[in-house]
């Protein structure tokens, strides 16, 4: 059992009764807890989630230039991307991060027929897509190799995507877009 006794005499020195030992409290540097917090946050950012700022308008109208997105980096460690998911990957041409929508996965045939997405012979109605300027446009259909995905931007007329650089390996996908961080709630 230990006890702390603080008895000061008039000169400011401690009067310590016999048999009592004075132990000075060691102060830990204040930066250690801060360093621990930074290390944890960097670990979370590296393995779980990160933010990405969008450069360009190829995903308009839902995702626009300057938007900040929250990206899930964990899901694709356990499963492959699925059609309809918005992903972040490295542009095969210049190595910069890009945001695109997965429209077809390995084993599917995909193309654009008169401006509309066609996968395995079925035409999809994509309400989130800006199809202005796409009437009369045809692409494919092309088979998507196993382990790869076909990526398209939502602003189909202006997007540089798999129509230009081909299918993308699922291993090159950084993560899945979860939500907008800015603007809050995204765009209408």
pLDDT digits (tens, 9 = 90+) for 2-27: 444 444 444 555 566 676 666 666 67
Q: Give the three-class secondary structure for 171.
A: helix
User: Which residues are CB-contacts of 152 (< 8 A; sequence separation ≥ 6)?
Assistant: 100, 101, 103, 117, 159, 161, 162, 163
User: Which residues are CB-contacts of 48 (< 8 A; sequence separation ≥ 6)?
Assistant: 72, 73, 74
pLDDT given at position 148? 97
Under the phi-then-psi rule, with left for phi > 0, alpha for psi from -120 to 50, and beta for the rest, what region is 151? beta
Task: Tell me the pLDDT tens digit for each residue of 163-188.
Answer: 999 999 999 999 999 888 878 666 66
Report all structural domains of the chain as residue ranges with CATH numbers, in order of start.
49-182 (2.10.109.10)
- Local confidence pLDDT in tens for the 188 residues of the chain: 444 444 444 455 556 667 666 666 667 666 666 656 656 655 555 667 788 889 999 998 899 999 999 899 989 989 999 999 999 999 988 889 999 999 999 999 999 999 999 999 999 888 888 888 888 899 989 999 999 999 999 999 889 999 999 999 999 999 999 888 878 666 66
What's phi and psi for 168, nearest 5 deg? -125, 140
DSSP string, 12-76: S-B---TT----PPPPPPTHHHHHHHHHHHHHHHHHTEEEEE--SSTTTTTS-TT-EEEEESSGG
What span, in angstroms and rounded, lies between the C-alpha atoms of 54 and 96? 11
What span, in angstroms and rounded, lies between the C-alpha atoms of 159 and 130? 10
What's phi and psi for 86, nearest 5 deg? -95, 130
């Amino acid at each position: 059992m230990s006890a702390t006794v603080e008895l000061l005499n008039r000169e400011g020195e401690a009067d310590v009764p016999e048999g009592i030992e004075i132990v000075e409290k060691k102060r830990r540097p204040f930066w250690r807890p801060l360093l621990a917090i930074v290390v944890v946050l960097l670990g979370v950012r590296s393995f779980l989630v990160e933010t990405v700022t969008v450069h360009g308008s190829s995903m308009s109208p839902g995702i626009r230039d300057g938007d900040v997105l929250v990206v899930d980096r964990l899901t694709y460690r356990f499963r492959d991307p699925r059609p309809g998911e918005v992903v972040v990957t490295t542009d095969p041409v210049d190595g910069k991060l890009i945001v695109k929508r997965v429209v077809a996965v390995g084993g599917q045939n995909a193309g654009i027929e008169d401006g509309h997405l066609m996968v395995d012979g079925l035409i999809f109605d994509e309400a989130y897509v800006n199809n202005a300027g796409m009437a009369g446009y045809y692409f494919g259909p092309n088979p998507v190799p196993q382990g790869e995905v076909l990526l398209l931007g939502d602003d189909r007329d202006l997007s540089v995507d798999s129509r230009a650089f081909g299918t993308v390996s699922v291993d090159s996908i950084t993560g899945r877009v979860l939500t907008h961080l800015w603007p809050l709630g995204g765009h209408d």
